Amino acid sequence: MKARVTVTLKNGILDPQGKAIEGALKSLGVDGIASVRQGKVFDIELAGADKAKAEEALKAAADKLLANTVIENYRVEVL
C-alpha cells in the first residue's frame, strides 16, 4: 500500500525559503505567481493492507517525527 504525507507551514509562519523561490520565479518571468510557500512530501510504502491501521500509523509518524506541529500542518493520504 502506498501513502503520502504532505507537510506544510502553518499560516502566519514566516517562510524565507518560499519567499526566495517566489522572487526567483518572478525574476525568471513566470507569470501570475502571487506567492510561494515551501513544504515537504513523504512517499511511504506500507507493509499491511488495512487502510484504517495505515492511516493511524501515518498519523503517528507525522505527529512523532515528520512534522513539527509548532510550525507545521500535515495531511495524510493512503493512495
* Chain residues in the site for another protein (CB under 8 A): 13-14, 16-17, 20, 64-66, 68, 70-71
d(CA 61, CA 45): 13
Whether the CB-CB separation of 38 and 9 falls below 8 Å is answered with: yes
Pick the closer one to another protein by CB: 41 or 51: 41
Pick the closer one to another protein by CB: 2 or 69: 69
Between the two ends of the chain, the Cα-to-Cα distance in Å is: 7
Pick the closer one to another protein by CB: 27 or 64: 64
Q: How far is the CB of 20 from another protein (least distance, A)?
A: 6
Q: How far is the CB of 52 from another protein (least distance, A)?
A: 25
d(CA 66, CA 72): 10
